[in-house]
A and B are shown apart, each in its own frame.
Chain A
């Protein structure tokens, strides 16, 4: 499975590294205080923050995983990009962003502090900080392993070099540098993967040819002939599609709980919108991100589906290497496709695209980590503000920079732990991924019901998280071989596939959290006055429409309609 690169490929990669570091270098002189470093001075134009918003999400594990999922589940994978993202992004833009941005909170935990109380913030800040470090460590490990296996690079060397490059530009230019580079990385990912999607589709005879080749494969697996090229058609029963989930599971589990939990409350993502230059720009950020988001499946999922057809065509000589368990290592699908189709030159571009996706994901983690650490942990518990704004700004800038170094070092450490104790890391990541669904319940109730109290929010968050854990400990997906997948307390229920278990874990977390928060709110007293909640809660915030004179495409509502229409057209086209 080795891919051989020539000097041109390396040259392209090196030019990319130089530009990435160069952007950090040019921005360093603007980093005069913590506000510039951690919040990009709230000065980003909507389109820049919007592309960064989508690029952060497009990490290496996402790209590799989604191409692999395309090969496993076919077009059904697009649910993660369409129903599982677009409605949540529209909701975030139109209904949540005014309160997030208007609150002047610098992070999601700080929003919890303003809306609720200190303990709710502390709980979220600590869980979030741990989760980001774990996530970046795991993706770093995966990337270095890939570079070792496929390109023959030294594992330690690629781990440290890629980490140091990310450290270099985030240390120098902070969030501005992370965002600017994410925009650059976005274009590299798209342009680098474009020739692959084009050549692969041409090779199988276009969409029509692909459908014809996939039909016998679907039938041989006991599915209807067009299963791999449709999205909703065969979701009437869980057993008639490879995803193993029914339409209502997809709609509620993925389309509502998981996606709203991820897109509306994950600080990693939302931070990009916080950096926008105005409230109106912040509201446009998720919508501008949604536009390319809807078309990314054609670059990363469709090639995965083509890989399925290729692997059944002996004439193509296309195979996916096996993983340690003897099954196919689906994560390598995109690399094998790059190797199959791209000659020297564009091959370097394709590999650079993968490296870019890794860096955009990791820089996202690091820049979110240093903000939460500096503002929500250090400034709240270790050294509060002194009142001297200028000295404070300098001091927290220094802290933010040190936090950046520590964030990267901790990620490197967790990458090595992931290498030694892979299962433990997978397990921890599964656990920490459960914080999003309860968080959405709590933030949503906070924004739209002024009565919601701090005590209720805290317990809603905690119990929702613990119930998700309990559910994970009591159920297993069919065929699970390790306790990491669930059932570590007892196995009371078996899900047909892991995906179904994930969906239900999130649904339970959300339901418990909502019920507990509502119940306790009715039993406790609201300690915040209406004045304190102005700007944070829907009913207490005066609505001012400022964009009446703008053309429709510059208004959030107009953009939302455009995004909604494209989403509907795509859904119907690939129904």
Chain B
């Protein structure tokens, strides 16, 4: 399949898409086709601090190799009772605890769910994205091969977290994972998305577009974790969105460690009273990595709450932009909205920008933000070295101390462990 069309080649792309997805239901194929048109028409995402024009993103082939599956990829995963592992379109592993099955929870790959739960998927699949869908959302909507689908019925609480592994072999050039979460009233779910490109092949330049959509019914509680550890030759576009009914809660724990470039948006809509958004983003940039991360909380209902935390460590020649947006609409009385952004700078060649913005149309609110950036405390290093540590060990300890308050607050054991592992790997890099 070396003749894969490039992302900028209009007619070959269309032909290839129809061939690739000819077995899809008609409605889906129509949507893919419309999404492809949107992708081709839409301008590049507008991030003033991350110019994309010169990256020639349209010269990347959409798929240029058959996936090569390596069983060794799964070795580091611990045995779990509820896990879905996807590699390209293929389902490598799908297990769900008997307890969950019995409660009526659906945890399956999106492609199978198309036949088993079409009536749920069809209305939700693209709807919640409509408001702010950009070029690369459309790219995913056109080309997604498979993904995860989770449906939690009313009053179902699941104690054990579900894990989704979105894997792709590194010699493939397009990666379009997606996750769709539908939660009914008073349900509770913990879910972890892991994004990885590992294997024995030589990595090629890859465009990844990742979509995560969550729909939370009244009083539903979602604990969501994700870790991005994509290959250093990948440029990733990530969009997470959640719509919350009254008294629902979204808890985001997102770790960004991989890829050459990541542009992300996370939009949480608190349209109904009493809903809450708690977001923790941890990022660690090294070498020439460039992260432009945006976390937005939109308050429309009354007495809603949000807390956005961004915590980053920058080394090498890495560059980060962290934008928090607290958007309080007129009528959202009693809103309590907070933001906190902190960056630890380990290198003079690194650069970190923070834009913690508050957009407020209502007076009966409390809104606050704080941001800080600074170096490793030299006195602390001196102290630790006087206690027999090497400078390197001292720096590692200080980085861990800096991140500990946010990482240790992550309630999902698995994601917390993985974030720590990723941080240690980055520190020692």
Q: Do A and B come from one complex?
A: no
